[in-house]
Structure 1
């Protein structure tokens, strides 16, 4: 399990994946989201610009990320 501290109100999903080095590029982040590889609070979510906020849980390729 990983924790990510968001500064401000939210972070877009694709930026979160890049910030945690789970993908190498923004383009790769968009593809994995579009392909349904990312779960947001337990549900597969296809929105690239999804606003991830404190208290949310993101799951990707076996990693669970808690946003604090």
Structure 2
């Protein structure tokens, strides 16, 4: 599981995917999210700008990202 430590109060979903190295660019993140391949806390998420907070779990291609403060 990849851990992303927040610098602010939140990180956007597309930024989190890039920060974890799961996608190469914002465009790749956009298409992965639009295609329904990304889940946040077990729910499919379609908004690239979805704000992630402390404790959120993102799942993409059998990889998990945990957001921590």
Name the TM-score class by shorter chain: over 0.9
Normalized against structure 2, the TM-score is what? 0.94
Which structure 2 residue ranges, 5 or more long, are not aligned?
A: none
Which structure 1 residue ranges, 5 or more long, are not aligned?
A: none
Q: Which runs of 4+ in 1 moved over 6 A?
A: none
Could you say what secondary structure the match of 1:27 adopts?
Answer: helix
Aligned mates of 2:19, 2:3 — CA distance in 1: 12
Over residues 1-57 of structure 1, what are the superposed CA-to-partner deviations in whole Å (9 max), with x where a residue is unaligned?
111111111011001111111100100100000000000000101011000111101
State the number of aligned residues: 68
